[in-house]
Amino acid sequence: MGREELEQRLAAVRRRIDDAARSAGRDPAAVRLLAVSKTVPAAVVRLAFEAGCHDLGESRAQELAGKVRELADVSPRWVFLGPVQTNKARDVARDADELHSLDRLELAVALQRRLEMVDRSLDVLVQVNTSGEAEKSGVAPGDLTELVRAVAPLDRLRVRGLMTIAPRGGDLDAARRCFRELATLAERVRGEAVDGVGMDELSMGMSGDLEAAIAEGATTVRVGTALFGTR
């Protein structure tokens, strides 16, 4: 993909975000675009960074490590998406600036230990399985508060909010129900006033449903296909 095509795609996505935010009575600046760059060659990712995509999402530890090295001169904000095996905690702790898929205490403890070793901290969002699909990662909504309370004392992890993935199939009504539930859960956790835990971030919505997510309060939308094409 060339620079011109990428810039056109990016402009189109930003227009969608701006229009959706204004339709919802929100400030477009309050919605962050996270460019999902997994499987995209580093040269194209560099073009995306130069076009203004400074938050980049990866889901494989080895691929993230390679791109961190190749793009070290521009230093994007690297966001790790997708499930994390406990034995990959070392790589995420070393390379990621943000994690959107914290879903269990075992992983949080492993990340804490690895972060201490490299003297880093990590912003994290707790992934919630709002769709109830068995194949999806994420903590069950009913177990969310317990997990947040257990993670809160781990001082290398900064809990900033929640993340969810809408059901497969493109049903926007079903997607909106999931997004609405995530916003409700964030409000509930916020009401618990857990020390060191913030609930200001809602990562939800992708290329096909970002408008629905923004209408329900998304602060981050994760866009890959609309920017980089089908992979």
pLDDT attached to residue 231 = 72
Quick one: average pLDDT of 10-36? 98
Q: Tokens standing for 30?
A: 């309050």
160-212 tens-digit pLDDT: 999 999 998 778 999 999 999 999 999 999 999 999 999 999 999 999 999 99
Nearest to 226 by CA among 59, 67, 33: 33
| pLDDT at position 31 | 98
Of all residues in the chain, the percent with pLDDT exceeding 90 is: 91
pLDDT, averaged across the chain: 96
Report the distance separating Cα 145 and Cα 131, nearest Å. Answer: 18
Query: Looking at domain 3-228, which CATH architecture does it have?
Result: Alpha-Beta Barrel (3.20)
Selection from 15, 45, 43 nearest residue 31 by Cα = 15
Q: What CA–CA distances, in Å, run from 79 to 1, 92, 149, 172?
A: 22, 9, 23, 26
Give dist(CA 215, CA 224) in Å, integer: 20
45 CB-side CA count, 13 A? 30
What local confidence, expressed as pLDDT, does residue 170 receive?
A: 75
DSSP code of residue 166:
P
Cα–Cα distance list, 195 to 96, 102, 151, 158 (Å):
24, 18, 11, 11
Spatial distance between the Cα atoms of 161 and 186, rounded to a whole number of angstroms = 7
Q: According to the model, what pLDDT value does residue 169 have?
A: 78
Angle at the Cα of 141 from the Cα atoms of 56 and 163, rounded to 5 degrees: 10
Domain limits, the chain: 3-228
> Please, which residues have CB within 8 angstroms of residue 100's CB and are 6 or more apart in sequence?
57, 79, 80, 81, 124, 125, 127, 163, 203, 222
What single-letter DSSP state applies at residue 138? S
